Structure 1
């Protein structure tokens, strides 16, 4: 079932209630969306705080690639030991990823004694146990408390009852996904397989786990994360914004999928004689065996992983909201390794998409400035913006139900 987003004046929230109340009131129980979301969805700190808690922490956020999160060493080029622990934030909740012989686990990054962080956010460690640097409480990699100074002989203290809070984490085609809002085993944790739905059938032929990082760019875009996602899901803007893209791919080509899972996307065609998305249309990397040579898959696994699968490389955009009007974007290019296992050269793909990214960012930033106008009112969807309507519908339903659902 899809939802309708109806109009709401951007200035009205000051007098008619909270921004979330206004957004929920704009989402009827059923019907196809006919208008974009109200401005508050893109400009309100209240809305972003709700999204961080319910869409990013409360869903399955992409945290990065398993080989990059744990493939390095704590001492970098100095030859340190392999990383065993890494702290990061999911939707405002600090989490601790742990890698051991038993595999990957995730815990709340908070000591069970006084709440001290086990690692600072963004930090990594090669220790063989989890050590709180405040009072030296120590945990095994399964989260069990194994050391608490002064409590060993206390008959009223239970080590078993003071283990770390474990959180759900999964690996899918080399990407790590975490859920930070509810503990492992809670019925409130959304089913990961249902979240992925039919997307594996589309992405699996590209063997993402077998690809290696060719290059990476990061951007801070002065636009709301949803404005960036909406831009990704339509090529209505391509003739004016992306002349280079239109030379290799018809902007009105392809189809939008309507398949199970918490994702949006479709495919686009390459023009005759074009082998991939590059400035010349020539291959940018070694062709990936078994994939369609004349199509590019464009999918967005909500909330924050965008995958663009080409005949010769896979590009991802990972979105992390910073403020209502700014988003950190990590753009990565993956390709098959060379015969000697060396990192591939995908510079032709990087050159093409860095140019295209910057064209998109300028458009998204202009949209964000326009959303701040008191005269903004939501506009209609063009006939080719069905994927944008699908995204708006899915997020609109989440505002009402409290969670992303297929």
Structure 2
């Protein structure tokens, strides 16, 4: 891969973020406010492996377009189940082939809504109206531009650069943590989209600590001790850790009861804890004993992030007559909104003229893992 230039940030302030835990500071103020920093992140962090959602969102013979911040990627799946990715732009005049963020569409062909150029699910051009008479026209040279795509436990990742190391290296030792949840077989029962007026890193940092939980999450604290668990440092481009469920609590819900069943292959530790993982740069995974919640983050501007939150359950549970995912969805929708409100307040506070990066509390070692990861990336190392 090409060497990464440093981000447009004060190197002395980045050095403060990299000091030993207990002495360090948060990232520089401009990391959360500067359009130039977001541009750097889009070119150097979001150009590599980035999550675009769940594989099950794209049926066989279907397609879906997702924003990657500054442009869109079209995902297709043919009748044989092969998943592919392309730049969401017609080879004629560049019109988007599908609107980003819309529902999946099932169709025999990809048809541009502007001039009706049509493509197969493998990206090859089928036809272009009125070009049969053009002798020099070569359909074989006008296939859609491919984007590298891989699947991991039901999540779809794209590498826009085409140069990132294999996804298994990006995931690293997280594979051993996620494997027992059989996430690739889970069925998404509900999804919510939130537009949050905060930088994407503020959201990840909030996710990495429960130092704030006793102040803004009374419902969450009833089912999990906010000072429980520990963070994990293993190989891979991710940060995370686990928290305990209180005695007698089955899962994260208002009353601590599950409306489903625990995953079949989980051990006792996994049945009594919730694992929270941030797969960088934009996927948050919450592994519960009976469901998996994920947040997909897309930065729209330095102070605005679109978040797609989905809840997935074992297929036999999802297919059960009368099953209602609300026990998990309603609990986390409330908790999400409490978090988003706090993150938006943080963003507004950082705009004040004399704001400076603050220190980290002893409970914020998970934030430290993320902040130091980002600081090293900003340095180009």
TM-score range (shorter-chain normalised) is 0.7 to 0.9
Match status 1:49 vs 2:39: yes
Q: Distance in 2 between matches of 1:378 and 1:339?
A: 45
Q: Distance in 2 between matches of 1:355 and 1:132?
A: 40
Describe the superposition over 1:263-290 as per-residue Cα deviations: whole angstroms up to 9, x where unpaired.
Answer: 1101111222222222222224222222
User: 1:21 aligns to what SS in structure 2?
Assistant: coil
Match status 1:108 vs 2:87: yes
8 Å Cα contact 2:237-2:280 kept in structure 1: yes
Call closer, same or farther: CA 1:172–1:23 in 2, change over 3 Å. Answer: farther
Within the candidate set 286, 296, 299, 2:261 is matched to 286
User: 2:8 aligns to what SS in structure 1?
Assistant: helix
Aligned to 2:70: 92
- Tell me the TM-score normalised to structure 2 length: 0.86
Q: Distance in 2 between matches of 1:110 and 1:351?
A: 37
Within the candidate set 131, 153, 177, 2:157 is matched to 177
Aligned to 1:201: 176
Within the candidate set 268, 271, 276, 2:243 is matched to 268
Call closer, same or farther: CA 1:384–1:335 in 2, change over 3 Å. Answer: same
Aligned to 1:4: none
Match status 1:241 vs 2:216: yes
Within the candidate set 318, 322, 326, 2:300 is matched to 322
User: 1:247 aligns to what SS in structure 2?
Assistant: helix
Q: Distance in 2 between matches of 1:394 and 1:195?
A: 14
Q: Distance in 2 between matches of 1:241 and 1:120?
A: 36
CA-CA distance at 1:321 after TM superposition: 1.9
4+ residue stretches of structure 1 with deviation over 4 A?
28-33, 122-125, 133-136, 148-158, 339-343
User: 2:236 aligns to what SS in structure 1?
Assistant: coil
8 Å Cα contact 1:214-1:344 kept in structure 2: no
Q: Distance in 1 between matches of 2:37 and 2:237?
A: 20
Moved more, 372-381 or 340-349: 340-349
Moved more, 161-170 or 296-305: 161-170
Q: Distance in 2 between matches of 1:198 and 1:367?
A: 32
Structure 1 gaps, min length 5: 1-18, 71-81
Describe the superposition over 1:344-373 as per-residue Cα deviations: whole angstroms up to 9, x where unpaired.
Answer: 323222232222222222221221111011
Structure 2 gaps, min length 5: 1-5
Match status 1:147 vs 2:127: yes
Describe the superposition over 1:147-172 as per-residue Cα deviations: whole angstroms up to 9, x where unpaired.
Answer: 34566676755443332211111121
Call closer, same or farther: CA 1:43–1:340 in 2, change over 3 Å. Answer: closer
Number of aligned residue pairs: 367
Match status 1:131 vs 2:118: no
Moved more, 29-38 or 222-231: 29-38
Match status 1:39 vs 2:18: no
Moved more, 380-389 or 210-219: 210-219
Describe the superposition over 1:245-280 as per-residue Cα deviations: whole angstroms up to 9, x where unpaired.
Answer: 223222222121111111110111122222222222
Call closer, same or farther: CA 1:339–1:151 in 2, change over 3 Å. Answer: closer
CA-CA distance at 1:30 after TM superposition: 6.9
Describe the superposition over 1:153-202 as per-residue Cα deviations: whole angstroms up to 9, x where unpaired.
Answer: 7675544333221111112111211223x3xxx4x233211111111211
Call closer, same or farther: CA 1:26–1:247 in 2, change over 3 Å. Answer: same
Describe the superposition over 1:84-104 as per-residue Cα deviations: whole angstroms up to 9, x where unpaired.
Answer: 232222131222212113401
Q: Distance in 1 between matches of 2:18 and 2:28?
A: 18
Call closer, same or farther: CA 1:170–1:342 in 2, change over 3 Å. Answer: farther
Within the candidate set 363, 368, 384, 2:363 is matched to 384
User: 2:14 aligns to what SS in structure 1?
Assistant: coil
CA-CA distance at 1:338 after TM superposition: 3.1
Aligned to 1:307: 285
Q: Distance in 1 between matches of 2:56 and 2:339?
A: 29
